[in-house]
Structure 1
Amino acid sequence: MSGDLDLPPRRPARNPRRPAAAGPRASGGRQGQKEATRKRVIEAARELFDTQGYQGTTIREIARHAGVSVGSVFTTFASKGEVLSQVMEERLDGLYAELDRVVPHLRGSTADKLRTLYAMLFAFEEPRTKLFLSHIAAAYDWTLPPGARPYGANQRLRDLLHEIVCKGMACGDVDPQTDVLAVVDLLVGTYAWTYHLVVTEGADARRLTEVMDQRIGLIADGFRPR
C-alpha cells in the first residue's frame, strides 16, 4: 500500500534484564549501612587511639578492628586525623554542653574560675588519658587535611576561656590592656603541656590539677590590674 500513514512511533522493546531504579527504600538502606559503618569505625578507632596512641594506630588497623574494608573507612573519612577528630568531637560534645551550662555560674576570681574549669576537664579525661594524649599528638601532624580538628582547634574550649577572661576584665579582675587572645593561647598550650606529666610520672587527674593550678596562678599574675 502506497502513501504516508499517520501511525504512532514504535516504542523500543523493554529490556527485561534491566534493573529497576533504586527507590527511596533502597537509598535509605544504603544510608543506614553507611552510618552503621561509620559508628563501627569510630568505636574501633576510639579503642585503638586509647591503647596504641596516634602514631601507633593505622587506618588498616582501624578497618580490621571495625570489621570493614579500608576503602569503607576512606569513604567517610579523608585521613586518620579526621577519624580522631570525629572520635573526640563525639566524646567531648556532652562535656562542653555541660560546661556551657556551668561556666556562667562559676564564682570567685578569674584565676579561681579557670582552676575550676580545668579541674573538670582533667577529671573528665582521666578514664581515657591516653586517648587525649593522642588528640594532642595529632596537633603536631603537619600532614593533616583541613577537615581534621586536632587539639588546639577546638573553638568551644577557646570560647569558654575567652568568656571567663572577658568577664574578669568587665569586673575589674583583669587588666583592661590584657591581650585576651594571647591569654587564651597560653592557657590552651599550658593545658596540653601539663599532660606530659602523665608520660613522665604517671600523673593522675589530682596531680595534673595541682600543677595546672600553680601555672594558672603564674598566668594570672600577668593579667592582674596594676
Structure 2
Amino acid sequence: MGVRDDQKQATREKVLDAARDLFNETGYDETTIRAIAERAGVSVGSVFTTFASKAEVLSHVMEKRLGELYAEFDRVVPYLRGSTADRLCSIFAIHYEFETRRVKLFLAHIAASYNPANEPGVKPFGRNERLSRMLHDVIEDGIRRGDVRPDVDPGLAVDVLKATYAWNYRLAAAGGAVQAVELSAAMDRQIAFIAEAWRPR
C-alpha cells in the first residue's frame, strides 16, 4: 500500500509540474489534458485518476505555487516597517515579483476564477485566504497604531485591495511584456489613493 501511495504522489507531482509549465508556455485554454499527460510522461487515465478536470489541475498548481510564496512571506512579514500603506506596497511588490515569473499561469488562474462552470473542487483566485488574512492583519495593526481610522471595515478594505491587485493584470492581459516593477508602481499609486480614505481625520 505504501508503494502505491508513493507512486500516486509521484504521478501527482509530475502532472502538476507539467501543467504549470504548459499553462505558462501555451496558456490555459490551449493546454489539453493529453498534452499534460505527455509532458508528465504518464497516461491520460492517470491524470483523471488524480484530478477531476483541467480546472482542478490549475487550482492545485496554484495552491502549490502560492504555498511557496507564502512560505517566503512567513519569513518577511514580521520585519515589514513603515506606514500601513508602505507595508501593503511591500506585500504586493513581493507578490508581483513572484507571479510575473509565470505571467500566463497567473492570468489563467484569474480567468478561471470567473468561470461559472467551475467544479466544486476548484479553488478560485478570490478565495486566497492567506493573502486575505495577511492584508487583514496589516489593516488591523494600522488601526491599533492609529495609522488607520478605527471605523474602517478591514474586510471591505481587503476586498478593495485584492480587486485592485487583480485588476492590474489587465496590463499583462493586453499582451505587453509587463514587468513586476510596472505592476508594483501602479499598485503603489492605487494604495496611496485608497489610503486617503482611511487616513485619520
TM-score by length of 1: 0.83
1:135 to 109, 122, 126: 109
The answer to whether the 8 A contact 1:54-1:137 is kept is: no
Q: Given the alignment of the two structures, is residue 164 of structure 1 paired with residue 164 of structure 2, yes or no?
A: no
Equivalent AA in structure 2 for residue 98 of structure 1: E
Per the alignment, residue 193 of structure 2 pairs with 218
2:158 to 158, 165, 184: 184
Alignment of 1:54-73 (within 5 A): 54-73=28-47
Instruction: Give the deviation of 1:38 after TM superposition.
Output: 0.8
Instruction: Give structure 1 stretches of 5+ with no counterpart.
Output: 1-26
If each structure's helix is expressed as a fraction of its own residues, which one has the higher value? 2
The answer to whether the 8 A contact 1:79-1:144 is kept is: no
CA distance in 2, matches of 1:55, 1:178: 40
Runs of 4+ in 1 over 6 A off after TM superposition: none
Instruction: Give the deviation of 1:42 after TM superposition.
Output: 0.7
Instruction: Give the deviation of 1:148 after TM superposition.
Output: 1.4
Per the alignment, residue 4 of structure 1 pairs with none
CA distance in 1, matches of 2:54, 2:113: 12
Q: Given the alignment of the two structures, is residue 95 of structure 1 paired with residue 59 of structure 2, yes or no?
A: no
Does the residue aligned with 1:143 lie in a helix, a strand or coil?
Answer: coil
Per the alignment, residue 170 of structure 2 pairs with 196
Instruction: Give structure 2 stretches of 5+ with no counterpart.
Output: none
CA distance in 1, matches of 2:76, 2:39: 37
Per the alignment, residue 183 of structure 2 pairs with 208
Decide which structure has the larger Cα Rg and report it: 1
CA distance in 2, matches of 1:109, 1:28: 51
Per the alignment, residue 5 of structure 1 pairs with none
